[in-house]
Amino acid sequence: MSRIESASVHVTAPGRNYVLLRVETSDGVVGWGDATLNGRELAVASYLRDHVAPLLAGLDATRIEDTWQYLYRGSYWRGGPVAMTAIAAVDMALWDVQGRTLGVPLYQLLGGASRNGCLAYGHATGESVEDLIASVRQHLADGYRAIRVQSAIPGMRDVYGVPRGGAAYEPAVRGARPTEATWDTGAYLRFIPAMFEQVRDAVGPDVPLLHDAHHRLSPREASQLGRSLEPYGLFWLEDVTPVEDQAAFRQIRSSTTVPLAVGEIFSSVWDCKTLIQERLIDFVRASVTHAGGISHMRKLLAFAELYGVRSGMHGATDISPVGIAANLHLGLAINNFGIQEHMPHPPVTSDVFTTAYTFDDGYLRPGEAPGLGVEVDLDAMDRFEYQTAYLPVNRLVDGTVHDW
Ligand code: KDG
Ligand code: MG
């Protein structure tokens, strides 16, 4: 029997902070799990290092479901982003071990491929609508078949998703305290429909376009935005309102037919049970890294399949290549895959991570390497030290703290 020999936690920062779990078995097989929780990385590292890794040594490495239940039910304090990200890392690492032990890519253990590749969407951004349209055209030239569009808003200093001066966008900012952004809902609601009108005019009706409202609107404002965007045929409108109150989506759903995507901050199926069961959303954005790993995401998405809700897994840079690979193996295997976010990591990331997954012709593919198919260079990791970094805090024009 293959036993877990050791489990170690690694914090590294090639380009940005990542937390990884490395599991090694008595047979000498190594598996990796992603435990990165943007802006709260060290909380998960401590959860793993202080409370989980010591429990893993000696367990049967093949008992993945049992280990998941042991960590979830066995902690009594179940759920929440810190615990579920920690459990996800263990689960991913054990599936990785299983695939490597059997010499097969993980998707083969999840039922095999249901499609040829995972349709990916890229992020087009612009400090003006003209720049945004140029960015959309560049993405089309780079092979993307679906594109998220985010633009600066006249009169607002910092807008989610839009980097300044053409730099690559990275939501977390290094520094001892979070940076602060200023938000004006009225200016946003006036500008976005006009922005979509110009983008649609420029690129035609066929390109699937997405947009992320990033939790800032009330249900009534979200309904207004959704209705105003209906003429532009969006693939999805994301995170229109904070989602603690799942019932709020009844109001939005009954007011607009715009396809809705929600859930990059979900930790488990319990965060979206009502949304799915009442068909209040079209896409669920939960990811393997933040929602309990492959084992739990598989159940979450199987539940979603019953109600016609498809996957749209979070894939921003704060999900490490290990987590992205996990999303891709699962996405390739399930029937109700929708789309996968693709926000490429900066080139320095490949100093530490070598991935079997590829992006080509608009599709991400997990590759045929055994397990998750990501190699992690332990020595290189040590060259990139953790640096404190936070997501921004958002305030209204009068200084009131608002959702970011
Ligand atoms: O950690 C949070 C970011 O990943 C998030 O703000 C990015 O909204 C996001 C997205 O859709 O990628
Ligand atoms: Mg988002």
Ligand 1 atom closest to the Cα of residue 404 is 6
Residues lining ion ligand 2 (Cβ < 5 A) are 212, 264
- Identify each DSSP E strand in 290-365 by its residue range: 310-311, 340-341, 353-355, 358-360, 363-365
CA geometry: angle at 76 spanning 19 and 79, to 5°?
50
User: Which strand (E) or helix (H) includes residue 18?
Assistant: strand 18-25
Which among 160, 188, 232, 357 is annotated as catalytic? 160
160 is catalytic: yes
Rounded to whole angstroms, how far apart are CA atoms 108 and 113? 7
Please work out whether the CB of residue 38 comes within 6 Å of at least one atom of ligand 1: yes
Ligand 1 atom closest to the Cα of residue 214 is 8
Amino acid identity, position 89 = A
Ligand 1 atom closest to the Cα of residue 38 is 1
Amino acid identity, position 52 = V
For atom 10 of ligand 1, which residue has the closest CA? 316
Please work out whether the CB of residue 150 comes within 6 Å of at least one atom of ligand 1: no
**Domains along the chain?**
4-105 (3.30.390.10), 109-369 (3.20.20.120)
For atom 12 of ligand 1, which residue has the closest CA? 316
353-355 vs 374-376, strand pairing mode:
antiparallel
Q: Where are the alpha helices (DSSP H) in 168-247?
A: 185-203, 219-229
> pLDDT tens, position by position, for the chain (404 residues)?
899 999 999 999 999 999 999 999 999 999 999 999 999 999 999 999 999 999 999 999 999 999 999 999 999 999 999 999 999 999 999 999 999 999 999 999 999 999 999 999 999 999 999 999 999 999 999 999 999 999 999 988 889 999 988 788 899 999 999 999 999 999 999 999 999 999 999 999 999 999 999 999 999 999 999 999 999 999 999 999 999 999 999 999 999 999 999 999 999 999 999 999 999 999 999 999 999 999 999 999 999 999 999 999 999 999 999 999 999 999 999 999 999 999 999 999 999 999 999 999 999 999 999 999 999 999 999 999 999 999 999 999 999 999 99
pLDDT of residue 237: 98
How much distance in Å is there from the Cα of 193 to the middle of ligand 1?
22
How much distance in Å is there from the Cα of 214 to the middle of ligand 1?
8
Q: Which of these, 263, 231, 226, lies nearest to 338 by C-alpha position?
A: 263
CA contacts within 13 A on the Cβ side of 199: 34
User: What six digits make up the tokens of 176?
Assistant: 């001892």
Is 20 within 8 Å of 34 (Cβ atoms)? yes
How much distance in Å is there from the Cα of 276 to the middle of ligand 2?
18
Ligand 1, residues 264, 320, 391: which to mutate, most atoms within 8 A of Cβ? 264
Amino acid identity, position 215 = H
Q: Which of these, 346, 348, 368, 371, lies nearest to 358 by C-alpha position?
A: 368
> Which tens digit of pLDDT belongs to each residue from 202-261?
999 999 999 999 999 999 999 999 999 999 999 999 999 999 999 999 999 999 999 999
How much distance in Å is there from the Cα of 5 to the middle of ligand 1?
35
Indicate the pTM of the whole model. Answer: 0.98
pLDDT of residue 202: 98
Q: How high does pLDDT run on average in the chain?
A: 97
User: Which strand (E) or helix (H) includes residue 150?
Assistant: strand 147-151
> Which tens digit of pLDDT belongs to each residue from 27-59?
999 999 999 999 999 999 999 999 999 999 999
214 is catalytic: yes
pLDDT of residue 155: 87
Q: Which of these, 79, 84, 96, lies nearest to 36 by C-alpha position?
A: 84
pLDDT of residue 193: 98
> Which tens digit of pLDDT belongs to each residue from 150-167?
999 998 888 999 998 878
